[in-house]
Amino acid sequence: MQDDTEPLRHAHISTEAFPESERLAMWRDIYGRGITNVDIEPIGDAPFHADVTFDILPGIGIANGSRSAAHYRVTPELARRGSDVIILSILRSGVATTSQFGNELACDVGSACLLTSEQPFTASLRSHGSFTTLALPHRSIAALVPDFSSAFGRPLPGADKALRLLTQYLDVVCDGDKPMDEEIGRRVSSHILDLAALAVGARGDAAEIARQRGGKAARLSAIRADIVGNLGRSNLSTDVVAARHGISPRYLRKLLEEGGTSFSSFVLTQRLAQAQRMLIDRRYAHLNIAQIAHENGFGDVSYFNRTFRRRYGATPSDVRAGSRGK
């Protein structure tokens, strides 16, 4: 976990970068001892594989990865060296168990477990699988959920709304590898803590603050990502998007308005931006202007041309011709 003064980081490590005969030994040394402070014991005879991407935000570490079946153990000796963090691990695929304080939990896909780095534990993937793991500051979680230790030894169900929202938000945050502005990073860290606290069991005033602060921001990010991912659909509407997120169309419109835009304005802006990127990208040179318009959800090419020119001060054809001359 990082100090608030350190730069924000995005890093990737994979056994694919190591010589095949040395992958396990090097992963134990670099990842197990150098990064996460764990012992690693493969399960079965399948070739060992692991792949992890780290996103380090102010006060929070995020790891997204996949690996072959193995036990990852924090021994009593390693626990004494550990930092004061709470670990929240979400199973994305595969079969997994965790064990701490004498309790072994079978994890369902989408569910999460809470562990403390100060006590021995074992996290096992019983098959090839994938995960998202958060390293959260003990003091911050304790401030939001004073009785958070009651979550040790019990699964956090994947059906929990806060956990689902946290997972969606993490997917948005970790999408891409561009560095994040430090101030934005602080806000994102705060939102992640709020959602994690709600998933763990925040109650009363702390829960209400977390819902208003982190819950709304995360839901808005998930909605925006959903819209951007479906720009080409002709049936993209508040009703359709709201239904996917389990909220009312009215609340969806309110969230977007609080974010400084309307549904129609956001959709149009994103469609035009994606069309502009396609026009200057040689990979789409085989598509004509009308096809690019339709690919981005414009049913009327004349309307596309008018709104594009109003937005960019040039016609789609001019933008494409200009990119070819570079």
DSSP 202: -
pLDDT tens digits along 163-212: 998 998 898 888 766 666 677 788 888 889 988 988 888 778 777 777 77
The whole-number pLDDT of residue 48 equals 95
Residue 1, token pair as written in the block: 């976990």
Q: Which domains does the chain have, with CATH numbers?
A: 9-229 (2.60.120.10), 230-326 (1.10.10.60)
Pairwise CA distance, residues 296 & 270, whole Å: 9
Banded pLDDT at 67 (limits 50, 70, 90): very high
Task: Go through 23-37 and write b for each residue having 16 or more CB atoms within 10 A of its CB, e for each that does not.
Answer: bbeebbeebbeeebe
Residue (of 50, 210, 26) closest to 128 by Cα position: 50
The answer to whether 263 and 242 are in contact (CB under 8 A) is no
Decide if pLDDT at 3 tops 50.
no
Banded pLDDT at 219 (limits 50, 70, 90): confident
Mean model confidence pLDDT for the chain: 88
